[in-house]
Structure 1
C-alpha cells in the first residue's frame, strides 16, 4: 500500500497504455511506476486484551447443562455479556468444566 504524500489518502493503481501508475482520487498526485520494486515490512503484533476478563472472570460464575463441542462434557460455566447494541440480545459465553474449552452463542 502506498499513500499520497500530499493528502495522505490511499493511492490506487491503474494500467495505462504503456505502464502502470499510482494515482490519488482526491488530488492530482500521480506516481508512474518505472521499474519493479518490492517493499516488505515486519509488523508488530498488538497484545490482545482478554475481553472476558481473564481467569478471574470465570471464578464465580454459574454452571449450566451445555454440551462441550470439543469433549462432549455435559456441564459448562456460563456468563452473558452485552457486546452489541442494546436492541440486540446478549451473547452467552461458555467454558467447559472438564477441558476449559470456550465457545459462545449469540
Structure 2
C-alpha cells in the first residue's frame, strides 16, 4: 500500500491505456505517481489483480514536521487573553487565562490563570 505524500490518502491504481503506463493516483488531490519497471531505484512489490507483481519506484522521501509545543515554555501565555482575576500571591487584579477540558465531558472546563505582574508570574487554576 502506498499513501499520498500530500494529503495521506490511500493511492489507487489506474490501469495502462492508450500508450500510458500504469500509475498510482490520489482520489482527493492531483498527486500522480507513475509505476516504472526500472530496478535501479528502491523498489517494492505492489500486488495487482491481473499481474502477479509490479515493481514500483519510490522516488520521494517524506520530511517530518517539527511539532510546536502548544502550552509549554516561558511564552506559553504570551498571546493568551486577559481577564480581571485577583492573583492569590501578589493580589494583582489582572491575569492571563486559558481553558481546557481535563475531566469528563459532563464536567465544566478548567480555567488556568497566570498573573500579569512580570515579577510574580504565579500560576493557578480554577476547577
Give the number of the structure whose alpha-carbon radius of gyration is greater: 2
| TM norm structure 2 | 0.41
| TM norm structure 1 | 0.49
